[in-house]
Amino acid sequence: MTDPLSEALRLQQDAAGQGFDWRELDELWHKLAEEIGELQAAVPQGVDRVRDELGDLLFMAVNLARHLRVDAGQALMQANNKFERRFGHILKHLDQLPPLGHPQRLDAMEALWQEAKRHERRQGPA
């Protein structure tokens, strides 16, 4: 079974091969913003509608990646790794955090996240 990101890319490449493609990069930014708006509007309509609109947004993100000449799967894997590193920094400091349910816990976690982010920027790309 093909992964959904690869299948989206294949479909888009097939369509582009037939001339059904975006002309300018700016058009993709506008469409991405439109898809975000449609997803926001879908939230009160229930999970089926949200799933549909989220799928459209993800499909558009793959399309944007294609036009930017970036492998969407690799970009997602890199984002996963970055999240894992930064959240790992938070986990190393669990004993310093307010207990679960405490109103300041999320703020303390966010501060640690930003600390990890600053550290990564000082160290350069991973």
Tell me: do 52 and 89 sit in the same domain.
no
Find the mean pLDDT for residues 72-80.
Answer: 97
Which residues form the domain of 106? 76-123
Given a cut of 60, whether residue 26 has pLDDT beyond it is yes
CA distance 91 to 124: 22
φ and ψ at residue 71, rounded to 5 degrees: -75, 115
Tell me: do 93 and 119 sit in the same domain.
yes
Tell me: do 65 and 103 sit in the same domain.
no
**Which residues touch 96 (CB under 8 Å, ≥6 apart)?**
108
Tell me: do 81 and 58 sit in the same domain.
no
Tell me: do 20 and 62 sit in the same domain.
yes
Tell me: do 17 and 58 sit in the same domain.
yes
Tell me: do 9 and 36 sit in the same domain.
yes
CATH of the domain at 59: 1.10.287.1080
Tell me: do 46 and 80 sit in the same domain.
no
Other Cβ atoms within 10 Å of 111 Cβ, number: 14
Task: Specify the number of domains making up the chain.
Answer: 2
Q: What is the pLDDT of residue 50?
A: 98
Tell me: do 89 and 58 sit in the same domain.
no
Tell me: do 114 and 56 sit in the same domain.
no
**Which residues touch 21 (CB under 8 Å, ≥6 apart)?**
12, 15
- pTM of the predicted model over 0.85: yes
> What pLDDT band is residue 16 in, cutting at 50, 70 and 90?
very high
